[in-house]
A and B are shown apart, each in its own frame.
Chain A
């Protein structure tokens, strides 16, 4: 059994699939297929999670305490009761932020090396760089 850690940095870098799942859950609780759709939408169709990748990542995120299962249903009468919903934990949110900061730092480094244009990146500490 893997030991849990309280330090977000200990879990970085996150695998792409795991980060996309966390991103999808920042907007609220979602079920598996909802997460999959959101990942496609937020990546402009570039990230397509297969069921295997999705649930392997979900299991790891559950084990690490980044997400948890939720018993609540957004619209109970319209939803299949057998669906499993997931939501971000406060620790999961901290890890997602830390990963976003790490990626932003990478982008800034790429901009400094002129691999990327200087404009367009919104700094996490606020403002457009």
Chain B
């Protein structure tokens, strides 16, 4: 009898424990699924056509202004967002319809300026041989190509394209409202201000090419490496300061106030973002993070690093100087 009691108790205990483990597994899976779901992101492959960038602009400025834009290299994974202008996307060029038109109808955007842009993009991308239906198409296309010439056809940062279409939109609004005429000069974007994918960002993101352009102009850029000292010593951006989040104090803030840009970074900018946020709260106005994110993004752009697992300081500085003067670096230089 006593034996039977113990067995029953054991079975009960085992059932309880196995249900706890089952619950744990379900929780872990649910957590993973829940957290893997990305925030609103539009994703496409890097390309050169005005249709792609106009569509990117339309999606992130009008369809969902809170969404971010993710641009991957040709052949890279497109997961983690709503695809557009790719062979498998629902928003892509189909027959005589541009991706821009598809996006406009899919998100039912009825802004008259956007409608005008539909005609312009159609003229540039589809209507090669016929007479342009819009007067502005040629001017917009020339300005677009000028932007590509300025940065190198394959190196225009995504944010510059978005800036460009911001200025096209603004110029077209002026044409519509005050009757001014559209000029190519009016559409040029300096593309040199701090950029973020949305206006409600806590911390702005700045493209690496923009930061190099700023350095070339003589602006002071302070890099703050937020990682632990051991990581910093292995490799860091030349002349970066090593300040961990817990060590940040008013003397650091005071020293950083004079820089034109304070770029906080870590491996992929999880800690970098936290530091940039803390600096912004402390009054450092131009506190930003890099895009592509962190030292991984910096290295992926072919930019040099200093440290025991990287280059010597003098060598890295020389290389960085070369990259700054050219506005970009060969991908194999680091």
A interacts with B: no
